[in-house]
A and B are shown apart, each in its own frame.
Chain A
């Protein structure tokens, strides 16, 4: 497997070192800003078509085809258009965009200028999560470098195209990773998701047509422009999903960390056992949370699945932000679910009734079970509450909170029963 890994081309990870950050490195070692020059020689439609051809799908979690998203932006607009980079990387288990911004900020900047040019936006924002103070500072420095060299600002590279880029720091809310809550926050409002439609492509930031893309998504764009959509599509090992994936693996594996693999290039089992060296202490695998903590959990029997958007969806879970949390037999799944549910209850914005009331209710019931005061009917109650939240809210946070509860209780019912019947954690 190690051999295969070497054969597979990676775009980012070989550059994830402190020394890669300066503009000089980007220009010399990564053909920096050559894609931008090329893009200025193309029409907007050509760029969007190239991105469509590349099968680049959103790296933030939903996996929506990026080229198609860009195509939704109206050509003519009375209001200014905006390109917003969603760098609010908050899904528990996810830490890919941080390295991208920390080590290769110029790929993101170049991707954003190209994106802005393609959709006709002269203003870009990088909405970065509040906790990423260092990355925000590094991005600002990189943006300053880009302005100084004329890669940002007025008449970029003599093209006549203007693009201004600003880093906007969040204030510590998971919900601001939801694109419309992000836009509200960007506008200085309370970070609450908006009613859709209108979708951001019609009316987004400051009511202008807006595209919101993830960091990794935008950072893929210069490669697509330089080497072609077809080339990028072929990097993927699966249909309708091009390029490579930055995968964050954490939890009970021997080699946790960030991996870059072709889209659909491995199964979850290969990822855990071949790439990450297997389970810590050679324990048995208990569970895998495959796509950030909101992804429905998988049991040890369900990991022979190709790790990409469509196959994961097919088995009722999701690739999400490609953050894999590996759980060994030593971990109490009741405690794990309690912690996850606490997170979603804490992060619910409080607008929608089912999410506001239901997430806390689930947390309270789980706390009770974990502390030995569970009742037999609690498991069905949890399934009911989760069912009543799922698909009944404005944004996906409700689903994100319900998914783990439903999947954990269904797949690890015996563990919950053991807690309830013995009044304590059998593992403890």
Chain B
């Protein structure tokens, strides 16, 4: 492998790699705003300048491929001065509203200002201001905070496949906006907020909800479809505030679709059933289980297992169900119209899969069969799900729900045994490529809801109504 020298450290590189990436490999951070490893290099923020031996001008590290024997300095006097100057330029028109800005605490501009900038500004003229347009339901724009890095524009055209973010006007008046001020159309709009290095593009969903330094982060996997995009859950006090994309170049790169990003809302929803129910009224766990047992007892039972459950839960059910409901047919369900992994396919050109549950492929491997319709004569159904699988229409049968349900979904259920959502448990899911990934518990099951093994154990030990 060819080598270059960065700040005295020998760094190996693969030909074509730029200096930002090569420096990162040897533990040297070069600051940047406009650069993003997944987007075209534009070299316009000028923050990543480095000094290269035998080159009179400072060079932008993002646009300079490493070369054999190249000697690079990232902390020379000239570089430090240039970074200081760039920070001053970026801040002369940036509002000093960090105290009320949601980006504060995770803002590149703020961080680099502390690290590379100067504590005071020489700018005494009036700051530039813009009037903001509404950009639709996902993103709130604050153009005054924008540093014109154009990551959003490039994300739109190069990743989301839609040229909706544009630069209008020019020079100091340049405004980053949507074409004709239209609302954003892409269903990957949340990434604009992830990408923005300042508080210019923020999630409306997250705005003014929580200072980011209070948030605890859990690395987990999205349960929104069969791809299994890697993401981070941000929670505080057992409440999820947002989910952000987590880099995994083999699965989702740096991105998350809006459906997956905002899927978490049901977890903390007010109408989620978190107390055991007997009929429509809250009950003690023991009573609810007794009611559930007698509701299915003596009936012709079918069991529906959501493909939003983990492999561990699936295996457990494979042991539990035959012992407790011998002869009852078991089906998996999740997405209307997608009954098997054969029917799962790419739903767009970016990330989305047609299966809207995360573990269709896994449950199928365990031997679960897809649900089409209830066998003739079925009089009772036990529905076990994680929270995301779409419930099939169940009419004229006695239904017991085990898992996560909304109040409206549980209407008419004989009993509800509240379970844990994807954010409240550890477990394995298998994506469409057969890749096993792990859900990580970010919060505790709310109210009296419990993990599936615990509920099944209570069921098995309960002396309530006996199965036929």
Assess whether A356 is in contact with B172, with CB atoms less than 8 Å apart: yes
Interface assignment of A150: CB less than 8 Å from any CB of chain B: no
Assess whether A352 is in contact with B44, with CB atoms less than 8 Å apart: yes
Interface assignment of B45: CB less than 8 Å from any CB of chain A: yes
- Chain A CB within 10 A, most for which of B43, B89, B125: B89
Assess whether A353 is in contact with B172, with CB atoms less than 8 Å apart: no
Interface assignment of B395: CB less than 8 Å from any CB of chain A: no
Assess whether B45 is in contact with A353, with CB atoms less than 8 Å apart: yes
The DSSP consensus for interface residues of chain A is helix
- Chain B residues whose C-beta falls within 8 Å of the C-beta of A418 in the assembled complex: none
CB-CB nearest in chain A for B86:
A353
Interface assignment of B171: CB less than 8 Å from any CB of chain A: yes
- In the complex, 10 of the A-B residue pairs with CB atoms within 8 angstroms, ordered by the A residue number, are A173-B170, A195-B42, A350-B148, A350-B170, A353-B46, A353-B90, A353-B148, A359-B172, A384-B122, A394-B43
Return the contact of A388 from the options B41, B45, B82, B148 (Cβ within 8 A): B82
Given known pairs A365-B125, A388-B89, the reply for A352 and B46 (CB within 8 Å) is yes
- Chain A residues whose C-beta falls within 8 Å of the C-beta of B85 in the assembled complex: 354, 388, 392
Interface assignment of B174: CB less than 8 Å from any CB of chain A: yes
Interface assignment of B214: CB less than 8 Å from any CB of chain A: no
CB-CB nearest in chain A for B91:
A357
Return the contact of A393 from the options B46, B123, B174 (Cβ within 8 A): B46
Q: How far is the CA of A394 from the CA of B88 in the complex (A)?
A: 18
Contact string, B15-48, partner A, CB cutoff 8 A, digits 1/0? 0000000000000000000000000011111110
- Chain B residues whose C-beta falls within 8 Å of the C-beta of A354 in the assembled complex: 46, 85-86, 89
Q: Which of A278-303 contact B (CB under 8 A)?
A: none
Return the contact of A353 from the options B41, B89, B170 (Cβ within 8 A): B89
The DSSP consensus for interface residues of chain B is loop
Q: Which of B178-206 contact A (CB under 8 A)?
A: none
Given known pairs A353-B47, A391-B58, A392-B46, the reply for A361 and B123 (CB within 8 Å) is yes
Interface assignment of A155: CB less than 8 Å from any CB of chain B: no
Q: How far is the CA of A354 from the CA of B81 in the complex (A)?
A: 13
Q: How far is the CA of A173 from the CA of B167 in the complex (A)?
A: 15
Assess whether A348 is in contact with B122, with CB atoms less than 8 Å apart: no
Kindly list the 3 A-B residue pairs having the minimum CB-CB distance in the complex, ordered from nearest.
Answer: A350-B174, A348-B171, A388-B85
Interface assignment of A403: CB less than 8 Å from any CB of chain B: no
Q: How far is the CA of A393 from the CA of B43 in the complex (A)?
A: 9
Assess whether B92 is in contact with A361, with CB atoms less than 8 Å apart: yes
B79 CB, nearest partner CB in chain A, Å: 11
Interface assignment of B93: CB less than 8 Å from any CB of chain A: yes
- Chain B residues whose C-beta falls within 8 Å of the C-beta of A364 in the assembled complex: 125
- Chain B residues whose C-beta falls within 8 Å of the C-beta of A353 in the assembled complex: 44-47, 86, 89-90, 147-148
B174 CB, nearest partner CB in chain A, Å: 3
Given known pairs A388-B82, A391-B57, A392-B82, the reply for A356 and B43 (CB within 8 Å) is no
CB-CB nearest in chain A for B125:
A364
- Chain B CB within 10 A, most for which of A351, A353, A368, A388: A353
Q: Which of B61-110 contact A (CB under 8 A)?
A: 63, 82, 85-86, 88-90, 92-93
Q: Which of B100-131 contact A (CB under 8 A)?
A: 122-123, 125, 128
Assess whether B90 is in contact with A357, with CB atoms less than 8 Å apart: yes
- Chain B residues whose C-beta falls within 8 Å of the C-beta of A351 in the assembled complex: 42, 44, 148, 150
Q: Which of A7-58 contact B (CB under 8 A)?
A: none
A354 CB, nearest partner CB in chain B, Å: 6
- Chain B residues whose C-beta falls within 8 Å of the C-beta of A360 in the assembled complex: 128, 171-172
Interface assignment of B358: CB less than 8 Å from any CB of chain A: no
Interface assignment of B49: CB less than 8 Å from any CB of chain A: yes
Given known pairs A353-B147, A388-B82, the reply for A346 and B171 (CB within 8 Å) is yes
Given known pairs A190-B167, A348-B172, A349-B171, the reply for A357 and B93 (CB within 8 Å) is yes
Which residues does A use to contact B, with CB under 8 Å?
173, 175, 190, 195, 345-361, 364-365, 368, 381, 384, 388, 391-394
Q: How far is the CA of A87 from the CA of B462 in the complex (A)?
A: 89
A85 CB, nearest partner CB in chain B, Å: 24
Q: How far is the CA of A388 from the CA of B171 in the complex (A)?
A: 17
- Chain A residues whose C-beta falls within 8 Å of the C-beta of B44 in the assembled complex: 351-353, 394
- Chain A residues whose C-beta falls within 8 Å of the C-beta of B43 in the assembled complex: 195, 394
B82 CB, nearest partner CB in chain A, Å: 6
- Chain A residues whose C-beta falls within 8 Å of the C-beta of B63 in the assembled complex: 195
B183 CB, nearest partner CB in chain A, Å: 22
B50 CB, nearest partner CB in chain A, Å: 13
- Chain A residues whose C-beta falls within 8 Å of the C-beta of B174 in the assembled complex: 349-350, 356
B382 CB, nearest partner CB in chain A, Å: 60
A27 CB, nearest partner CB in chain B, Å: 44
- Chain A residues whose C-beta falls within 8 Å of the C-beta of B150 in the assembled complex: 351
A276 CB, nearest partner CB in chain B, Å: 34
A208 CB, nearest partner CB in chain B, Å: 19
CB-CB nearest in chain A for B176:
A350
Q: How far is the CA of A175 from the CA of B174 in the complex (A)?
A: 14
**Additional A-B contact list (19), CB under 8 Å, known A350-B170, A354-B89:** A175-B170, A195-B42, A346-B171, A347-B170, A348-B170, A350-B167, A350-B174, A351-B148, A352-B46, A353-B147, A356-B172, A357-B89, A357-B92, A357-B93, A359-B171, A365-B125, A391-B58, A392-B86, A394-B43
- Chain A residues whose C-beta falls within 8 Å of the C-beta of B173 in the assembled complex: 350
Q: How far is the CA of A349 from the CA of B45 in the complex (A)?
A: 13
Q: How far is the CA of A355 from the CA of B148 in the complex (A)?
A: 12
- Chain B residues whose C-beta falls within 8 Å of the C-beta of A350 in the assembled complex: 148, 167, 169-174
Q: How far is the CA of A195 from the CA of B34 in the complex (A)?
A: 13
Q: How far is the CA of A345 from the CA of B93 in the complex (A)?
A: 15
- Chain A residues whose C-beta falls within 8 Å of the C-beta of B57 in the assembled complex: 391
Return the contact of A392 from the options B58, B123, B148 (Cβ within 8 A): B58
Assess whether B148 is in contact with A356, with CB atoms less than 8 Å apart: yes
Q: How far is the CA of A346 from the CA of B172 in the complex (A)?
A: 8
Assess whether B170 is in contact with A349, with CB atoms less than 8 Å apart: yes
- Chain B residues whose C-beta falls within 8 Å of the C-beta of A381 in the assembled complex: 122
Given known pairs A348-B171, A350-B174, A353-B147, the reply for A392 and B49 (CB within 8 Å) is yes
Q: How far is the CA of A351 from the CA of B58 in the complex (A)?
A: 17
- Chain A residues whose C-beta falls within 8 Å of the C-beta of B41 in the assembled complex: 195
Q: Which of B127-181 contact A (CB under 8 A)?
A: 128, 147-148, 150, 167, 169-174
Q: How far is the CA of A350 from the CA of B89 in the complex (A)?
A: 12
Q: How far is the CA of A394 from the CA of B57 in the complex (A)?
A: 11
- Chain B residues whose C-beta falls within 8 Å of the C-beta of A195 in the assembled complex: 41-43, 63
Q: How far is the CA of A110 from the CA of B340 in the complex (A)?
A: 69
Q: How far is the CA of A360 from the CA of B88 in the complex (A)?
A: 14
CB-CB nearest in chain B for A173:
B170
- Chain A residues whose C-beta falls within 8 Å of the C-beta of B47 in the assembled complex: 353
- Chain B residues whose C-beta falls within 8 Å of the C-beta of A358 in the assembled complex: 89
Q: How far is the CA of A384 from the CA of B174 in the complex (A)?
A: 24
CB-CB nearest in chain A for B126:
A364
Q: How far is the CA of A360 from the CA of B170 in the complex (A)?
A: 12
- Chain A residues whose C-beta falls within 8 Å of the C-beta of B42 in the assembled complex: 195, 351
A176 CB, nearest partner CB in chain B, Å: 11
Q: How far is the CA of A347 from the CA of B173 in the complex (A)?
A: 10
B235 CB, nearest partner CB in chain A, Å: 36
B67 CB, nearest partner CB in chain A, Å: 12
CB-CB nearest in chain A for B171:
A348
CB-CB nearest in chain B for A352:
B44
- Chain A residues whose C-beta falls within 8 Å of the C-beta of B122 in the assembled complex: 381, 384
Q: How far is the CA of A195 from the CA of B44 in the complex (A)?
A: 9
A196 CB, nearest partner CB in chain B, Å: 9
- Chain A residues whose C-beta falls within 8 Å of the C-beta of B45 in the assembled complex: 352-353
Q: How far is the CA of A376 from the CA of B93 in the complex (A)?
A: 23
Q: How far is the CA of A349 from the CA of B172 in the complex (A)?
A: 8
- Chain B CB within 10 A, most for which of A346, A356, A388, A392: A356
A398 CB, nearest partner CB in chain B, Å: 9
